[in-house]
Amino acid sequence: MSSHALTWTLLHRRSARAFFLAQSTRHVRSVAVAAELARAVAALAGLAAWAGVGLLLVG
């Protein structure tokens, strides 16, 4: 049991450290923002496509 507690303490300390430098985290944030923006554009394009299908079916 004591070896498990020791391992858990080491893992917990390791997870508390920062894995990135500040510059790379800014890059990751900008990539995440770009991905969300692309997802929003794709959702709007899909909505416009379904609206077009609806208009074709009605008209």
Residues 6+ apart with CB under 8 A from 28: 20
- Asked if residue 1 belongs to a domain, the reply is no
Q: Tokens representing 7?
A: 């391992």
49 in Cβ contact with 41 (< 8 Å): no
Q: What pTM was computed for the model?
A: 0.52
- Asked if residue 6 belongs to a domain, the reply is no
- Asked if residue 46 belongs to a domain, the reply is yes
The whole-chain average pLDDT of the chain stands at 78
The pLDDT of residue 28 is: 72
Confidence of residue 46 (pLDDT cuts 50, 70, 90): very high
pLDDT of 40 over the 70 cut: yes
- Asked if residue 2 belongs to a domain, the reply is no
- Asked if residue 4 belongs to a domain, the reply is no
Domain range for 54 is: 19-59
- How many structural domains compose the chain? 1
The pLDDT of residue 6 is: 58
